């Protein structure tokens, strides 16, 4: 279920106009995402991917705040309270893809509420930034995080050699971010190492 920060429908009974409501919602959404990315930066450090998206969001916040001041007497929406972060960076980046996708669709609902050229241009630019920069960067980050770590892979193989475990061996080569899915060459290399070591152990036992 979507968080309300990603949903919008103008209230015809409100004192503010649909355009003013749309600007409020756009700024509310942007500030939500600023806190969202800020939490990740504090938890996982100054990651380049997170910093670049956070910087673009800060620019968008400044633009939306200026527009709201020009078109509405209402105070800007507050920043949300601290948000819970996922257990690991991969899960967080996956949730960021969902949040950015929902935000892009949110602007499909906001655009019909304004005919002002500058407001519409700002909304279109934010949408374009999501589609052309944020989402491709986050999806690339997911691919990178799912790639196998060669050193960790070799360590796992050595552990299996010292204490063979058929179930663990199956997981090593077939799990979601396993070497055969992440890279056939790494998987083949690890398999060759395991095979050669087992052959050597058999020869020593004879």
| SS3 call for 121 | helix
State the residue for tokens 């309300």: 4
Report, as ranges of residue numbers, the positions in the chain whose pLDDT lies below 50. Answer: 1, 174-190
136 burial via Cβ count (<10 Å: 0-12, 13-18, 19+): exposed
Per-domain residue ranges for the chain?
4-146, 150-205
Averaged confidence pLDDT in the chain: 78
Q: For residue 128, what pLDDT is reported?
A: 95
The answer to whether 88 touches 43, Cβ cutoff 8 Å, is no
Q: How far apart are CA 61 and CA 46, in angstroms?
A: 21
Assigned fold of 4-146: Ferritin (1.20.1260)
State the residue for tokens 């919008």: 8
Q: For residue 178, what pLDDT is reported?
A: 46
Token pair recorded at residue 188: 């083949």
CA 184 to chain centre: 26
Q: Which residues contact 144 (CB under 8 A, 6 or more apart)?
A: none
If phi > 0 it is left, if psi is from -120 to 50 it is alpha, else beta; for residue 45 that is left
What digits encode the pLDDT tens for the residues 113-161?
A: 999 999 999 999 999 999 999 999 999 888 877 765 555 555 655 565 5
- 178 φ, ψ to 5°? -70, 165
State the residue for tokens 């967080």: 92
The answer to whether 23 touches 68, Cβ cutoff 8 Å, is yes
Q: For residue 180, what pLDDT is reported?
A: 41
Q: How far apart are CA 164 and CA 167, in angstroms?
A: 9
């Amino acid at each position: 279920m979507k968080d309300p920060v990603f949903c919008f429908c103008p209230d015809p009974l409100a004192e503010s106009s649909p355009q003013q409501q749309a600007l409020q919602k756009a700024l509310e959404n942007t500030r939500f995402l600023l806190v969202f990315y800020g939490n990740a930066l504090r938890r996982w450090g100054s990651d380049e991917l997170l910093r670049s998206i956070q910087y673009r969001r800060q620019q968008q916040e400044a633009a939306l705040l200026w527009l709201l001041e020009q078109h509405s007497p209402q105070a800007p929406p507050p920043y949300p309270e601290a948000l819970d972060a996922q257990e690991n960076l991969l899960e967080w980046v996956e949730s960021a893809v969902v949040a950015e996708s929902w935000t892009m669709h949110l602007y499909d609902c906001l655009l019909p509420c304004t005919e002002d050229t500058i407001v519409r241009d700002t909304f279109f630019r934010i949408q374009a930034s999501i589609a052309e920069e944020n989402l491709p960067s986050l999806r690339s980050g997911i691919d990178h995080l799912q790639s196998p770590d060669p050193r960790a892979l070799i360590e796992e193989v050595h552990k299996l050699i010292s204490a063979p475990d058929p179930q663990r061996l199956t997981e090593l080569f077939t799990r979601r971010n396993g070497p055969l899915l992440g890279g056939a060459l790494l998987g083949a290399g690890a398999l060759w190492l395991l095979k050669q070591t087992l052959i050597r152990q058999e020869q020593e036992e004879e």
